[in-house]
Amino acid sequence: MEKTILIIVVVVVSFMFAAVSGDWELQQASIPRANVVVAQDGSGDFTTVGAAVAAAAGRRSGSGRYVIYVKAGTYAEYVTIGKDLVNVMLLGDGIGRTIITGSRSNGTGSPTIESGTVVVEGAGFIGRDITFRNTAGPANQQAVALRSDSDRSVFYKCSFEGYQDTLYARVGTQFYRECDIYGTVDFIFGDAAVVLQNCNIYLRNPPNKVNTITAQGRTNQTMKTGTVIHNSRVTAAPDLRPVQRSVKTYLGRPWKQYSRTVFMKTVLDGLIDPAGWLPWNNDPSNLKTLYDAEYANTGPGSSTANRVKWPGYHVITSPSVAEQFAPRNFIDADSWLPATNVPYTPGL
């Protein structure tokens, strides 16, 4: 009996230790073991992320999850995970600790599609606990921190830092959870079927005094693509706060004819312009064909009383309509997200 009690005490203490220290292996059960380690100090298998990615095809066996653990540090390099590298995971030590940074931009001669600091093309990618950064600055126009062409890709507890065109969710099905996204103009853009859930969206100070959060690129109304921002928060970054009254900030503008963007159950701070949305370069031609919508948002910028009167703009009042844009329906989340071990809310 005493032996049994002793065993129970040891187990309980072990769980308590895990909760406090975070070092116990069972606490990290949701994080796969690393196949290779990247460390700038030479303590890992590689000193650069690019070298680890380049070697992945030759080192892995099968198509199971291949985990590249990137230790804390600032990695000034450009990384491309090609189409042939499927089910790759980049695992860092946390936002602001593991940083991959570059500075390509339109202003310095790189087309938008080639300006990404990190480009992911292989399906099934997971990014976790990493900062993706583009330091081109607000005057250098389009400058992508991350471009994802990866179908069924997931980003968890990551940050995306840039100004114009920070996060290019280009194609495929994508999910972002508990991420921070910083930018000025069209800084969440592309034509993926993408849900950003429990994220923080930070507006920076733009050079032309106009911010637009999204620019969605659906070109055909039968396409099942669009940008959904769910249960998140939109607020000013530190550099915008002192001058935010002099800056007009909009939820988005329609990049393509059938642009589709939905903000749901998101806190909108007072920096959002009452009109809410902005035409693309003052072109009214797609205001009938786009689908921009808001549902059950809160905060001082959430009032829809003075929103645009476009035929394609909708204030959703029915939960059943809003459910169409929840992860379980919009990106078929229940069929693939559980295998990633990333938390998500399937419904509203």
Q: Tokens 């940074």 identify what position? A: 101
d(Cα 44, Cα 64) in Å, to the nearest integer?
A: 22
CA–centroid distance for 249 within its chain: 20
Element (H, E) at 222: none
CA–centroid distance for 6 within its chain: 47
The residues with which 200 forms a beta bridge, in sequence order, are 180, 233
Q: DSSP string of 35-69? A: SEEE-TTS-SSBSSHHHHHHHHHHH--SSS-EEEE
Q: Tokens 């310095």 identify what position? A: 108
Ramachandran angles phi, psi of 281, nearest 5°: 50, 40
Looking at the chain, how many residues does it have?
Answer: 348
CA–centroid distance for 258 within its chain: 22
d(Cα 46, Cα 325) in Å, to the nearest integer?
A: 41
Residue 232: how many CA atoms within 13 Å on its side-chain side? 24
d(Cα 79, Cα 120) in Å, to the nearest integer?
A: 8
| Pair 113, 146: CB distance under 8 Å | no
Q: Looking at 151, 165, 186, 191, which residue is catalytic?
A: 186
d(Cα 246, Cα 244) in Å, to the nearest integer?
A: 5
Annotation marks residue 186 as catalytic: yes
Active-site residues, by number, are: 186
